[in-house]
């Protein structure tokens, strides 16, 4: 990837994460990266092709985050540090979730959730030490994930909010465990 192309993608990725597809305007992008619009068209031809690059980049970022999750020993503080570091990736995933009526977004969302979620479920189960079967854990995780993406935004994705969120989630998981036993 050329340096200019990389700048376009990283900037567009952040804009999409914070503002969604509606925030992706070529004029705004050009102003933000400080490069002419003709450079954008040279690299991507149109916005649709550009978005395909953003989706591929997101899957790469999901792999990076999953690799870090594999090495985390606990949710608080290790996973929380990873999540804060990948704030833009999480917000991008949130935008995919909001706009999953678009087939490409849904496919990318599902793939990203699979990449990142597999490692997270393992860490979550270990950290909580719950006596649930794999199906119960995955169902609980699916609900927790939906709730997570409904609540996150650029302001609250910080260590204090995440710590409180996971403590509340731990309480809910323990209540769920006592019900299914």
Instruction: Write down the domain spans for the chain.
Output: 3-180
3 state SS for 55-74: HHHHHHHHHHHHHHHHHCCC
Share of the chain above pLDDT 70, in %: 99
Owner of token pair 């953003």: 54
Report the C-alpha gap between 41 and 47 in whole angstroms: 9
Q: What is the pLDDT of residues 99-131, one digit of tens each?
A: 999 999 999 999 999 999 878 878 887 888 878
Q: What is the pLDDT of residues 19-44, one digit of tens each?
A: 999 999 999 999 999 999 999 999 99
Architecture of domain 3-180: Orthogonal Bundle (1.10)
pTM over 0.75: yes
Q: Which of 77, 53, 83 is nearest to 65 (CA)?
A: 83
Q: Which pLDDT score is estimated for 179?
A: 86
Answer for the pair 13, 85: CB distance below 8 angstroms, yes or no.
Answer: no
Q: What is the pLDDT of residues 69-102, one digit of tens each?
A: 999 999 999 999 999 999 999 999 999 999 999 9
Q: How confident is the model at residue 132 (pLDDT cuts 50, 70, 90)?
A: confident
Report the C-alpha gap between 173 and 163 in whole angstroms: 15
């Amino acid at each position: 990837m050329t340096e200019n192309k990389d700048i376009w993608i990283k900037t567009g990725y952040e804009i999409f994460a914070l503002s969604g597809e509606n925030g992706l305007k070529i004029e705004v992008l050009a102003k933000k990266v400080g490069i002419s619009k003709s450079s954008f068209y040279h690299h991507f031809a149109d916005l649709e092709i550009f978005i395909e690059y953003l989706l591929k980049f997101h899957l790469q970022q999901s792999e990076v985050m999953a690799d870090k999750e594999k090495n985390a020993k606990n949710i608080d503080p290790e996973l929380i540090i990873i999540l804060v570091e990948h704030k833009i990736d999480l917000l991008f995933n949130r935008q995919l979730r909001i706009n999953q009526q678009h087939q490409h977004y849904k496919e990318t969302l599902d793939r990203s959730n699979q990449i990142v979620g597999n490692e997270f479920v393992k860490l979550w189960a270990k950290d909580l030490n719950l006596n649930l079967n794999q199906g119960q854990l995955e169902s609980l995780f699916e609900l927790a994930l939906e709730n997570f993406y409904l609540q996150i935004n650029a302001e609250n994705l910080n260590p204090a909010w995440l710590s409180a969120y996971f403590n509340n989630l731990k309480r809910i998981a323990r209540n769920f465990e006592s019900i299914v036993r």
